[in-house]
Amino acid sequence: MMVFVTFDHLHSFPGTGVRPGLCHKGARALCERYGMDWAAIVKAGGVSSAVLIETGDALAISLVEHAMKSVVA
């Protein structure tokens, strides 16, 4: 199932520290590492789960899994 991973998903991602969520600085770094356009993602309000899965990055894939759980719930 493909989902649109939004900033709500990014901000509610569990278990990364004292507060839930991932920071924009880290998300921007992930985009840069894999050649994604951060500005376009911000403008769109998120990104397709397929784009994140294609990176093969464990954190990106975990974020997709988190987004899928929130859509199914």
* Alpha carbon distance 64, 53 (integer Å): 7
The pLDDT tens digits for 34-63 are: 999 999 999 999 999 999 999 999 999 999
Residue 67 has pLDDT above 90, yes or no: yes
* Alpha carbon distance 67, 71 (integer Å): 6
The pLDDT tens digits for 6-24 are: 999 999 998 767 788 888 9
Residue 31 has pLDDT above 90, yes or no: yes
Q: Give residues with Cβ within 8 angstroms of 72, minimum separation 6.
A: none
**pLDDT the model gives residue 16:** 64
